[in-house]
């Protein structure tokens, strides 16, 4: 085996790795040996000289090493093929017949840090978030083609986090036929058209699929308010579930037009649909309290820990207005997609909003990531989606 570059940690800094965490921060490193370039595979050792693992090294990043394996092994095409097959088995076992759109690779959650692959039927969307995965792009494409036979693979590495790795943003067709927009997908009996080239994230909020399906099961005969509706994913599920009336709110004209298109695509024209363009905070203040279900699915308010106090005020304001708008016995589906907003703080914010709104609230369930967004148990940073389902009196 070719001798690999070597990273040695300061004494005592190996504890997170021994507990299973997949990252090494630059401040924990005592010295490096060998010709280490961004994205190279390197070995990491404790200050006492004990082997700890192998992973992708990047001197430009605060996360200087991302662990791929705790064993000494050859990290060749066969290694990555096996990881892809493990991910494939999980999804096919749990999602077959329910949807043709899901996250195939969820970075650290699938033990492939820096790699995201989303599947939209025969169209795959790939994100390389690290220098290591950028180096392996050709190998990854070859394996995806051999295992899954996709029609096309499109890259959406147009994310700002690549700058932390010394990489520029990039997007474009990597394999196969040119993509005819939009790509149509199905989930739990609902149809959607996805713009994989320009849409939010990789085109669709796949992480909310099971929460949308929950809404479908409780919407019969209900009046529904869908805030931050984007292209109407929650609203369509509510309509398919038999909602009596749906109000959609978003700040984007384009998103609302796409939402209306999805309403038509799913033959929901008989249901009264009320799209409202505007600032959600202001729109909610102007609505009358007459809803059976309110959905709050805002964009990330907390991208840095320093923003947490300000963001908490925003979450409280939204939930306060939702409590005001709900009928007795109504349901609130409220979400945060910010890693720094932990479960305990989010629940305290909702509690505070309920007190100020003078409403009694029952917590019915906590809702998080679906099966295709697994989280590495030793990597809590991978958890970001948190939701509560509340019954209001």
3-class DSSP state for residue 239?
helix
Percent of the chain with pLDDT over 90: 95
- How far, in Å, CA of 243 to CA of 284, rounded? 20
- How far, in Å, CA of 81 to CA of 105, rounded? 12
What mean pLDDT, rounded, does the chain reach? 96
Please tell me which residue in 128, 190, 337, 390 is annotated as part of the active site: 337
Is 190 noted as a catalytic residue in this protein?
A: no
- How far, in Å, CA of 227 to CA of 249, rounded? 5
Residue 54: count of CB within 10 angstroms of its CB: 21
Q: How confident is the model at residue 36 (pLDDT cuts 50, 70, 90)?
A: confident
Instruction: Calculate the dihedral angle through the C-alpha atoms of 216, 217, 222, 227, rounding to the nearest 10 degrees.
Output: -40
Element (H, E) at 277: strand 273-277
Residue with the larger pLDDT of the pair 305 and 159: 159
Kindly report, residue by residue over 3-28, the tens digit of the pLDDT.
Answer: 899 999 999 999 999 999 999 999 99
Give the position of tokens 């040695």. 8
On the CB side of 78, CA atoms within 13 Å amount to: 2
Structure tokens at 26: 């630059």
Kindly report, residue by residue over 255-284, the tens digit of the pLDDT.
Answer: 999 999 999 999 998 999 999 999 999 999
pLDDT at 33 over 80: yes
Check residue 1 and give its pLDDT: 53
Kindly report, residue by residue over 136-146, the tens digit of the pLDDT.
Answer: 999 999 999 99
In Å, how far from its chain's centre is CA 196?
15
Check residue 254 and give its pLDDT: 95
Check residue 35 and give its pLDDT: 81
- For each of the domains in the chain, give its residue range(s) and CATH number, in order of start: 6-69 (2.30.130.10), 77-183 (3.30.750.80), 205-392 (3.40.50.150)
- How far, in Å, CA of 131 to CA of 134, rounded? 5
On the CB side of 130, CA atoms within 13 Å amount to: 29
Instruction: Calculate the dihedral angle through the C-alpha atoms of 89, 91, 93, 98, rounding to the nearest 10 degrees.
Output: -160
The residue among 329, 280, 285 whose CA lies nearest residue 301 is 280
- How far, in Å, CA of 10 to CA of 48, rounded? 9
pLDDT at 382 over 70: yes
Q: Which of 34-38, 131-135, 317-321 has the lowest mean pLDDT?
A: 34-38
């Amino acid at each position: 085996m070719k001798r690999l570059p070597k990273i040695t940690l300061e004494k005592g800094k190996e504890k997170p790795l021994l507990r299973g965490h997949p990252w090494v921060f630059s401040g924990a490193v005592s010295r490096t040996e060998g010709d280490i370039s961004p994205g190279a595979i390197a070995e990491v050792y404790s200050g006492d000289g004990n082997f700890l693992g192998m992973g992708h090294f990047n001197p430009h990043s605060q996360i200087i090493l991302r662990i791929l394996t705790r064993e000494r092994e050859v990290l060749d095409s066969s290694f990555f093929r096996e990881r892809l097959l493990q991910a494939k088995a999980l999804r096919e076992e749990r999602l077959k017949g329910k949807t043709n759109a899901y996250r195939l690779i969820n970075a650290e959650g699938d033990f492939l840090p820096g790699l995201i692959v989303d599947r939209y039927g025969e169209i795959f969307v790939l994100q390389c978030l690290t220098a290591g995965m950028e180096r392996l792009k050709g190998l990854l494409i070859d394996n995806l083609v051999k295992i899954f036979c996709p029609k096309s693979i499109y890259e959406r590495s147009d994310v700002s986090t690549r700058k932390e790795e010394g990489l520029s943003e990039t997007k474009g067709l990597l394999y196969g036929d040119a993509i005819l927009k939009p790509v149509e997908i199905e989930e739990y009996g609902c149809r959607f058209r996805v713009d994989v080239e320009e849409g939010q994230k990789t085109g669709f909020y796949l992480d909310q699929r099971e929460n949308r399906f929950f809404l479908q099961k409780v919407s019969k005969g209900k009046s529904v308010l869908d805030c931050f509706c984007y292209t109407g994913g929650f609203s369509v599920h509510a309509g398919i579930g038999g909602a009596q009336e749906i109000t959609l709110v978003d700040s984007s004209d384009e998103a609302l037009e796409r939402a209306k298109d999805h309403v038509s695509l799913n033959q929901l024209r008989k249901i009264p649909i009320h799209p409202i363009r505007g600032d959600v905070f202001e729109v909610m203040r102007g609505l009358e309290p007459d809803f059976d279900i309110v959905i709050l699915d805002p964009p990330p308010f907390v991208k840095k820990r320093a923003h947490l106090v300000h963001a908490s005020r925003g979450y409280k304001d939204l939930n306060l207005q939702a409590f005001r708008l709900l009928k007795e016995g109504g349901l609130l589906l409220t979400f945060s997609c910010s890693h720094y907003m932990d479960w305990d703080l989010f629940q305290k914010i909702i509690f505070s909003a309920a007190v100020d709104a003078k409403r009694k609230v029952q917590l019915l369930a906590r809702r998080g990531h679906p099966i295709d967004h697994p989280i590495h148990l030793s990597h809590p940073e991978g958890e970001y989606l948190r939701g509560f389902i509340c019954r209001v009196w």
